[in-house]
Amino acid sequence: MHPNRCAYVMAHTRFLGWPFAGLVSTQSGMTAAIDQLTEKEKETLRLIVRGHDAKSAATELDLSVHTINERLRSARRKLDVTSSREAARVLYESEAQAAERTSKKLAYEHLGDAAMLPSSDDPSIRKRGRSPALWIGGIIMMMTLAAAIAFVQSGGWEVQTGGWEARSEMAESSAAAQEDAVREQAAREWLALVDKSDLETSFAATTSAFRSAVDLAMFKSATAAARAPLGEVLDRRAIQFTTVNEAGKTYEIALFRTDFENRVGVIERVAMERDGGQLKVGGYFIQ
């Protein structure tokens, strides 16, 4: 895939009927208006873009409908729009663009031009030593070794479309089953935090390497752009567990097939590694 995988994937993805590639650049005046929004107003607008109305947003945030309406009214006034849905869309587009800019910036800073991933049919990539690579984009957040990522995309993870059954070996021993259970529990606990938009706690639960490369604001922006358009989680099934050993490190991978409110059959990959004696998330990939 040439050359910026993040940009490619985002350009071929539609969120709530809006083609990402068609998003226009936010004008300086609108940028200034968005900067005037409070965090509480942004929090409310992110719920609106996920399909909530004032009443359900109030329930979600444990606030009164009056408070939610006040936030929405203030946001509409600051953004000079007539509807709360439009205000939510404006914020969403702005944060999605910010996430894309961050993706490109970090990809070049951490990898450099020569380290950008080539097409997945290049088997030599698994033999190249690389530094940890950070991938953050509208639907991608990945922190792991580039070689490990390439392993996954060159066939290490393959899911058959017929019945969505993972092509993986069944655990033949109780020990293997227990290991899978530990992986699944760790991944599900972290995903549950993201599901309920508890981004501060989910960020704190990532590896130290991830947190050293990404600050909380960047994490929130990328996560909002990736997850908000999908809506609520309806069903999530674990379909495969994999261990990847690269550059002296071991990554535990949990693969899920997830049905969201606005999109079904989404493949979520959670990459984890031992950090301080615990399995912590170092990568999250939505396909």
pLDDT digits (tens, 9 = 90+) for 209-250: 888 877 888 888 888 878 888 889 999 999 888 887 766 778
- Pairwise CA distance, residues 231 & 53, whole Å: 13
Predicted model pTM:
0.48
Do 12 and 92 share a domain, yes or no?
yes
- For residues 169 and 126, the model is more confident at 169
**Does residue 34 sit within a domain?**
yes
Cβ–Cβ under 8 Å, residues 264 and 179: no
Do 163 and 39 share a domain, yes or no?
no
Q: Which domain, by its residues, includes 242?
A: 124-286
The CATH number for 94's domain is 1.10.10.10
- Tell whether the model's pLDDT for residue 46 goes beyond 60: yes
- Tell whether the model's pLDDT for residue 68 goes beyond 90: yes
**How large is the C-alpha radius of gyration of the chain?**
20
Do 39 and 174 share a domain, yes or no?
no
- For residues 192 and 284, the model is more confident at 192
- Tell whether the model's pLDDT for residue 99 goes beyond 50: yes
